Amino acid sequence: MPASRQRIVISLGGSLIVPDQIDVGYLNKFYNLIMGEIRRGAKFLLICGGGRTARNYQKAARQVVGVTRDDLDWLGVHSTRLNAHLLRTVFRKSAHPEIITHPADHLRITEPIVVAAGWRPGWSTDYVAVRLADNYESKKIINLSNIDYVYDSDPRKNGNAKKYEEMSWKQFRKLVGSKWDPGANVPFDPVAAKWAEKIEAEVSVLNGKNLANVRKCIRGEKFRGTIIR
């Protein structure tokens, strides 16, 4: 059984849910992983990213008319909500029926799973994850995307990029800066990082495709990825 009954917050990157089209095979494996951990007594708060869904809608809008940044951001927000509805449907028997769309929401939840999505333009799903972790008194946030570690530079461009297995919030914030840009390629939103440091949360950054490794992280075992605290 897990040592803590706190909800584990998982930020599930949209690139995992919809890398190109909806990855049904991945969702099936993710479902089995989460349900297995629930049988061990774990509880989860799952936040969804937008993935290819967001980019497809944004691209389509641009091809028809001139669009504002705000319009593009709203398409991204609603894409996270569509993905969240998909995830809530998948976990229907074990999930709270209402999806959280505001980081200040604090619902009365008895189910082992609650699903959340994006809030509004200017605020990332990382930020929503940290605020909800604070609301639900959770200290463990797992950030799943398509990267293995936090690096000091892009490993795809720099073969000598340094990986971090553990780092402080001070180190991380020095690396990524203090402002969030939706187009920036950073492993975790700098504004969310500031809030995570404030509430003394621990964020684990790892590749969500390796679900055996994700299971280790959920259980507090040694895993392949970066711990920021």
| Direct distance between the N- and C-terminal alpha carbons of the chain, in angstroms, rounded to an integer | 24
What average pLDDT does this structure show over 34-59? 95
Given a cut of 70, whether residue 185 has pLDDT beyond it is no
What average pLDDT does this structure show over 112-134? 94
More confident site: 155 or 79: 79
Kindly indicate the confidence band of residue 11, based on its pLDDT and cuts at 50, 70 and 90: very high
pLDDT score of 154: 86
Kindly indicate the confidence band of residue 3, based on its pLDDT and cuts at 50, 70 and 90: very low
Given a cut of 70, whether residue 184 has pLDDT beyond it is no
Kindly indicate the confidence band of residue 177, based on its pLDDT and cuts at 50, 70 and 90: confident
Kindly calculate the radius of gyration of the chain based on its CA atoms and give it in whole angstroms.
17
Q: ∠ at Cα 178 (202, 180), nearest 5°?
A: 90
Please report, for the chain, the start and end positions of each structural domain, with discontinuous segments joined by +.
8-228
- AA letter at 151: Y
pTM: 0.92
pLDDT score of 1: 37
How far is 56 from 20, CA to CA, in rounded Å? Answer: 9
Dihedral Cα 108, 113, 54, 217, nearest 10 deg:
130
How far is 122 from 188, CA to CA, in rounded Å? Answer: 15
- AA letter at 176: V
Given a cut of 70, whether residue 110 has pLDDT beyond it is yes
Q: Which two tokens stand for residue 171?
A: 């180190």
Continuous segment of H or E residues that includes residue 209: none
Q: Which two tokens stand for residue 225?
A: 């990825």
Q: Which long-range contacts (CB under 8 A, 24 or more apart) does 107-111 make?
A: none
Q: Which of the four CATH numbers 3.30.200.20, 3.30.56.10, 3.40.1160.10, 3.40.50.880 does domain 8-228 have?
A: 3.40.1160.10
Residue with tokens 């340094």: 162
